[in-house]
């Protein structure tokens, strides 16, 4: 078999699996159950977080950790924004915790979270520049993930990367929060030089 035939067969194989995945996703999204009464047919739509918010959300903390590491390497804050919760998600989380008075503040809290994260990102890039630590060439040596739970029942994770860029080593750390059973970057984004 020639190289071209092998590549063609690989492309067909990947296309086949892509079609299966797309079919599974679309059938999961459009899945509905049918109830038959004597004269009526009623459709009941299955509710899911991904369908409500229309985005791919991260289910596990290790998946978020990998995504944030790749976003940090770009040095662009816009790459971190998809990993922050929306005001609607915060409102739903507060609703599930019976924090009615805080629901009105969900938009303000989300804006504060984003603004604070942006300031921390700028501060981290300035500190890295002083340390001569290049984010684009940084390599992950080790990562530590600790999942903790607050008294209110909210789970959060403390993430620390040990990274190397050239001959410089540093810790890059942040907090992650679980909102509507999905993980997002939260707060305390920073870089600490390793002495």
CA pair distance 12, 126, nearest whole angstrom = 47
Concatenate the DSSP letters of all residues of 138-195 into one string: -EEEEEEEEEEE-TTS-EEEEEEEEEEETTEEEEEEEEEEEETTEEEEEEEEEEEE--
* Domains of the chain by residue range: 3-45, 58-193
DSSP code at position 186: E
CA pair distance 161, 187, nearest whole angstrom = 15
**94-112: average pLDDT:** 71
List of residues 6+ apart from 69 with CB closer than 8 A: 140, 143, 161
List of residues 6+ apart from 194 with CB closer than 8 A: 162, 169, 170, 171
Dihedral of alpha carbons 78, 82, 88, 91, sign: negative
Predicted TM-score (pTM) above 0.75: no
Residue 91 has pLDDT above 50, yes or no: yes
Task: For 44-80, write each residue's pLDDT tens digit.
Answer: 444 555 555 556 677 888 999 999 999 999 999 999 9
Task: For 9-36, write each residue's pLDDT tens digit.
Answer: 654 555 444 445 444 444 444 344 444 4
Task: For 116-151, write each residue's pLDDT tens digit.
Answer: 999 999 999 999 999 999 999 999 999 999 999 887
């Amino acid at each position: 078999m020639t190289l071209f035939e092998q590549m063609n067969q690989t492309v067909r194989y990947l296309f086949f699996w892509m079609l299966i995945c797309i079919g599974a996703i679309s059938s999961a999204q459009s899945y509905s159950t049918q109830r038959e009464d004597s004269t009526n047919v009623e459709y009941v739509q299955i509710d899911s977080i991904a369908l409500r918010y229309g985005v791919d959300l991260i289910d596990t903390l290790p998946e978020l950790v990998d995504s944030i590491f790749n976003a940090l390497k770009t040095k662009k804050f816009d790459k971190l924004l998809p990993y922050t919760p929306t005001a609607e998600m915060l409102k739903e989380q507060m609703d599930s915790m019976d924090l009615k008075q805080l629901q009105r503040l969900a938009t303000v809290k989300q804006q504060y979270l984003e603004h604070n994260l942006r300031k921390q990102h700028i501060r981290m890039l300035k500190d890295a520049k002083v340390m001569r630590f290049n984010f684009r060439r940084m390599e992950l040596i080790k990562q530590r993930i600790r999942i903790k739970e607050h008294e209110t029942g909210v789970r959060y994770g403390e993430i620390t990367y040990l990274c190397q860029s050239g001959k410089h080593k540093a810790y890059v750390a942040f907090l992650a929060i679980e909102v509507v059973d999905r993980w997002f970057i939260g707060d305390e984004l920073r870089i600490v030089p390793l002495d």
